[in-house]
């Protein structure tokens, strides 16, 4: 999708985890494509700083996707502020790479609570608003290449993101034809979350670059471009899909 094409003109998009990483790229690009954007994030200060640069096309809402009351209130606020919701992007997530044998149950539970349950709760809160649109509403959930080809230590993360893929397929069946639901599986993307996985001063990637056919980190904007395609009418016959935006990792 070319920048500033206006393919999302008139659309009203909610992005969870929208203050940084892939979510922030979606917020910026969706606004440039003509959409109104509600940036939902725990870090309200960063969300407000981002949306302040969107020439009045975006606003920030504090939310915790793992808390049913918080995400429901945030979604209702977003719908009121934009006059409805046409699209939802579930980008909020956390990551941990820990060996399964010694993993504390709190780590497992946090990843499931935020990545999987949080995605479900956001979808659940958005559905009453999305169904009012009729056909044309769209949900895009962020899964991961780790759900397709996990590395050692990714048991909790892979399980949570694999659940997102299955959830997306189930919702695609349940919500059709009014709402399309798809998942995107990013590979090694240059985000603060992924950079934070480096330990003991090691600046290398958590997955060796030789596992990627393209041999490099991906950019948040490269994932966001796929997400925007799935939100737009160009993808009107796509639902229940999972698209790997991973530089060739899952086949290489």
Which residues does the annotation mark as catalytic?
157
- The enclosing H or E element of 12 equals strand 12-16
**Could you tell me the sign of the dihedral formed by the alpha carbons of 114, 171, 74, 51, in that order?**
positive
Q: Residue 213 and residue 189: Cα distance in Å, rounded?
A: 14
**Any residues with CB less than 8 A from the CB of 42 and at least 6 apart, and which?**
62, 63, 64, 92
**Any residues with CB less than 8 A from the CB of 202 and at least 6 apart, and which?**
none
> Six-digit token pair at 56?
């009045």
Bond into 47 cis (ω within 30): no
CA distances from 62 to 88, 127, 142, 171, 224 (A): 16, 19, 20, 26, 22
């Amino acid at each position: 999708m070319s920048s500033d094409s206006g393919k999302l003109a008139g659309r009203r998009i909610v992005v969870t985890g929208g203050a940084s990483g892939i979510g922030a790229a979606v917020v910026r690009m969706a606004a440039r494509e003509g959409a109104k954007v509600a940036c939902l994030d725990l870090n309200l200060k960063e969300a407000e700083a981002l949306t302040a640069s969107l020439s009045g096309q975006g606003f920030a809402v504090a939310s915790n996707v793992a808390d049913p009351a918080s995400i429901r209130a945030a979604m209702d606020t977003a719908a009121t502020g934009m006059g409805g919701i046409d699209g939802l992007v579930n980008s909020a997530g956390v990551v941990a790479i820990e060996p399964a044998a010694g993993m504390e149950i709190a780590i497992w539970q946090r990843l499931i609570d935020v990545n999987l349950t949080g995605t479900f709760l956001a979808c659940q809160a958005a559905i009453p608003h999305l169904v009012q649109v009729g056909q044309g509403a769209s949900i895009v959930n962020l899964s991961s290449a780790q759900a397709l080809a996990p590395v050692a230590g990714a048991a909790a993360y892979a399980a949570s993101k694999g659940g997102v893929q299955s959830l997306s397929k189930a919702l695609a069946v349940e919500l059709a034809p009014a709402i399309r639901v798809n998942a995107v599986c990013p590979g090694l993307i240059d985000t603060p979350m992924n950079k934070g996985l480096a330990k003991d001063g090691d600046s290398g990637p958590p997955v060796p670059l030789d596992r990627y056919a393209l041999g490099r980190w991906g950019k948040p904007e490269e994932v966001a471009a796929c997400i925007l395609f799935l939100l737009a009418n160009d993808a009107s016959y796509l639902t229940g899909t999972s698209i790997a935006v991973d530089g060739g990792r899952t086949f290489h």
